[in-house]
Amino acid sequence: MSDYQVRDNTAARRFELLVDGEVGALAVYHTRGDVVIILHTETAPEMQGRGLASELARQTLDQIRERGGKVVPSCPFFAKYIGEHPEYADLVSHG
Residue 1: pLDDT band by 50, 70, 90 thresholds? very low
d(CA 2, CA 10): 22
Q: Is 90 exceeded by the pLDDT of residue 3? A: no
94 falls in which pLDDT band (50, 70, 90)? confident
Q: Three-class SS of residue 24?
A: strand
68-86 residue pLDDT tens: 999 999 999 999 999 999 9
Asked if the model's pLDDT at residue 31 lies above 50, the reply is yes
**17 in Cβ contact with 56 (< 8 Å):** yes
| Residue 42 pLDDT greater than 70, yes or no | yes
